[in-house]
Every structure is written in structure tokens, then in C-alpha cells.
Amino acid sequence: MKKTITLISTMFACITMQARMDLTIETTPGELKNVMTQEQIQNVEDLTLTGGMNKEDFYFIRDQLVKLKSINMKQIEVDTIPVNALFGKELETIVLPIHIKYIDENALNTNARIYLTGPYPKRAAYIGGISFILSNDNIYCKKTENGIFSSDGKILYEAFENYKLYFEEGLEIIETYAFVNVGVRDYRFPKTLKVIKEKAFYNLDWLIPVSFMDYSDPTIIMKAKEPPVLGENAFVMSDEQYCEYPLSVPEGCIEIYRNADPQWKIFRIREGDQPQGIESVSTPNLSITRSGNSWILNGEKNISKIEIFSTIGALIFSSKCNDTQVEIPMGKTSEVVYARVLYADNTTEVIKLIK
């Protein structure tokens, strides 16, 4: 009988311990450490909090709840998740407070799945390395293949890391730190874009070509005829060479952009995709065919030289020849390049080559 009672007591203790792994606690700012028992602190794995919190509570969670795997703070009242709040914490799931207003530096630097339940908060540049997941009941934001937007699509909060991003009409505002540590090949913004906030493009990197066989023209295309209003330091680049790369604007809008805000002048502003240094594109007087991964140019007169330009006017390939037929390797060029054909009789024409 005594043995049976001992066994039942042990089983009850195990069940009790298991129940304490999943806790719901109401707390007030700075008091979480006082409302939890030592046993709860040592063993809780799934924690749901209500009430209020402050930075002391976040650091207590980070440093003392050693077995914690999941934390739900949806109903917590707190304005800011502080610096390094959950830095390095090995969590599986974090549910953010619905009314959170600001997330500070490295606050969520963890591998957890992080659920956004309310409006997208203001944030520091580097809050963690993982994009938010929108909770099923989030009515404030929407996610597309390009990033996280306001539910009506008018505000871009977070652009996903992709070297090609084409944004749909209806986008009006790009928020602070929407682009952080991104590499540009081809970014296209719609006619409806009106505002680019301070540091919206932060540590922007141009994916610079290293050779003709590995070439792609980096470019930003603005379709709005009225230049978007720029916040302070709207474009923060990762190096000092960005002025060598273009900003494409609608026809007739170069001076409008240059005069709208000095920040636009850091770009080489151009119209469309025709490179600078090439005044006009000819109607070809020679035939253009494809053979494998090359263009074949056939003319009626001898060609003495071929020069291939990117859409920003950079010379990326040049070859002397003395024949009516010339082969130009496509390699990994961008979709559009320009060929200046110099003939033996000193005449010239420029043609546009499209993959």
C-alpha cells in the first residue's frame, strides 16, 4: 500500500511539473521575476504573458528562463522591445505584442519564428536576421513576394532580400529601414510612389559586375514623373562608388529629379534604358541571328570593330575584326546591351541587342 501511494505521488508530481511547463502569467512592469516561483523559472517552456512589461522583464526572460522555447506577448502592454532584449536566446516561437511601437537594435537576434500580430512597428536598422511572419489574425499588414506592406498596399515596411524587385502600382510610401543590407540589380518603383522616408535604403549595395561573362546592369527605376519626397539620408550606400550607377526616370524628367532634392544628384540620372554616351540607336543595316549563346552579326561591308555597352554606358566588351560577320558572346550579360559597330569605311551604327 505504501509503495502504491509513493508511486501515485511520483506520478502526480510529474503531471504537476509538466503542467508548469506551460504557463499563463499576468504581470506588471518590472515584476515578472517576483510573480514566478523558482520552479517555474527553472522549468517553463511555453510562456504566455498578459499585463505590462519593461526592459527589466525582457532581460530576466533572456537570462533566467533557461528552458523557455516559446513566448506569447500578444496581450502585453509595452511600447519598446529594448536593445538586445532576446539576443542569442534559443527560442522556437515569439509572438509580438499587438501594440508594440518600437523594436531596438538586436532585440530579436534569434532564430525563432517571430509573429507580428499588430501594425508594423518602428524599428532600428538591425533588429535580427529573420523576417516577420504575419499572424493569421493580423488585419494591419499583408505579405507579398516582395515584402511586408500595410494592408492596403500603400506602405512598404520591409523589403525581402532579392536582387530583383518589381513593386506594383498603389505603393505610396517606403518606410525607414525598408531596405537593409540589400544588393541591387533591378529595382522598379511605381508611378504612385510619393515618399521615401529617412534611411529607407540603408547600406545599399550595388552588385558590381566583375567581367563581361558575369555582367548584369544594376539599376533603380522610378516611374513617377513627380519625384518622391525624400527623408533625411534616404539613401545610405555601402561604399562610395554608387554614383557610378544609374537612376532611371521617365522621359523629360531628368532635370525635375535633379532639382527636386540634392539627394537625387548622387545618382547618374538618365531616361529609360539607353546608355549615356550613345546618342541614338540605329535601324540595323545588318542581320542579327543567334547561335547557341552568341549573337551573330552579318553585314554587307567589312566590320572593323565591335564595342558592347551596358545600359549605363559602361564599355564591357571590345573586339577588333576585319570581316562581314562577327560573333558576340552573350555570356551572363543583362537582358539589354548596346553594340556600336564600326565599319572599315569609317561609318558607324549602334544597335540594341536583347536576349
Q: Which residues have a Cβ under 8 Å from the Cβ of 183 and sit 6 or more positions away? A: 161, 163, 205, 206, 207
Q: How confident is the model at residue 288 (pLDDT cuts 50, 70, 90)?
A: confident
- Sign of the CA dihedral running 69, 81, 127, 220: positive
- What's the CA gap between 163 and 82, in Å, rounded? 31
Give residue limits of the domains in the chain.
2-238, 287-354
Tell how far CA 318 is from the center of its chain: 35
Q: How confident is the model at residue 316 (pLDDT cuts 50, 70, 90)?
A: confident
Q: How many helices (H) and strands (E) does the chain have?
A: 5, 29
- Sign of the CA dihedral running 193, 197, 202, 208: positive
Q: Which of 31, 27, 6 is nearest to 73 (CA)?
A: 27
- What's the CA gap between 216 and 337, in Å, rounded? 10
Is the pLDDT at 196 greater than 60? The verdict is yes
Report CA dihedral (106, 110, 113, 114) to the nearest 10 degrees: -20
Is the pLDDT at 208 greater than 60? The verdict is no
According to the model, what pLDDT value does residue 194 have? 98
Please give the radius of gyration of the chain, using alpha carbons only, rounded to the nearest integer.
29
Q: Which CATH code is given to the segment(s) 287-354?
A: 2.60.40.3080
- What's the CA gap between 304 and 320, in Å, rounded? 6
For residue 141, give the H/E element and its range. strand 141-143
Q: How confident is the model at residue 219 (pLDDT cuts 50, 70, 90)?
A: confident
- What's the CA gap between 295 and 326, in Å, rounded? 8
Model pTM above 0.75: no
Beta-bridge partners for 80:
102
* pLDDT > 70: percent of the chain: 83
User: Considering the chain, what is the average pLDDT of its residues?
Assistant: 84
Beta-bridge partners for 72:
48, 95
- What's the CA gap between 276 and 78, in Å, rounded? 53
What is the average per-residue pLDDT within 194-210?
82
- What's the CA gap between 262 and 201, in Å, rounded? 16
- What's the CA gap between 113 and 132, in Å, rounded? 8
Q: What is the grid cell recorded at 99? A: 501594440
According to the model, what pLDDT value does residue 59 have? 97
Least confident piece of the model among 26-35, 76-85, 261-270, 333-342: 333-342
Map residue 260 onto helix, strand or coil: helix
Max mean pLDDT range (1-5, 27-31, 269-273):
27-31
Amino acid present at 165:
L
Q: How confident is the model at residue 141 (pLDDT cuts 50, 70, 90)?
A: very high
Map residue 32 onto helix, strand or coil: helix
